[in-house]
Amino acid sequence: MLKNFYTKFWVPIMGRFISYFIPLIEGKKPEKSPTYDIDGKKNLKK
């Protein structure tokens, strides 16, 4: 249950919130937008 909450809610919501601060921390905009894919399931190649 906690893993589901973490992957479905915490990472996407907090990740988007924190991504607004990337330019302040790094001094420039990121070249690629964050994926929020912590499991690596979206990038599986068959």
Q: 3-46: per-residue pLDDT in tens?
A: 888 888 888 888 888 888 888 888 888 888 777 677 767 665 55
> What's the full length of the chain, in residues?
46
Shortest CA distance to 19 belongs to which of 30, 31, 8, 10?
A: 30
Per-residue model confidence (pLDDT) at position 45:
57
The DSSP symbol for 43 reads: T
Per-residue model confidence (pLDDT) at position 42:
66
Assign 7 to helix, strand or coil. Answer: helix
Per-residue model confidence (pLDDT) at position 43:
62
- For residues 11 and 20, give the distance between their C-alpha atoms in angstroms, rounded to a whole number: 14
- For residues 15 and 9, give the distance between their C-alpha atoms in angstroms, rounded to a whole number: 10
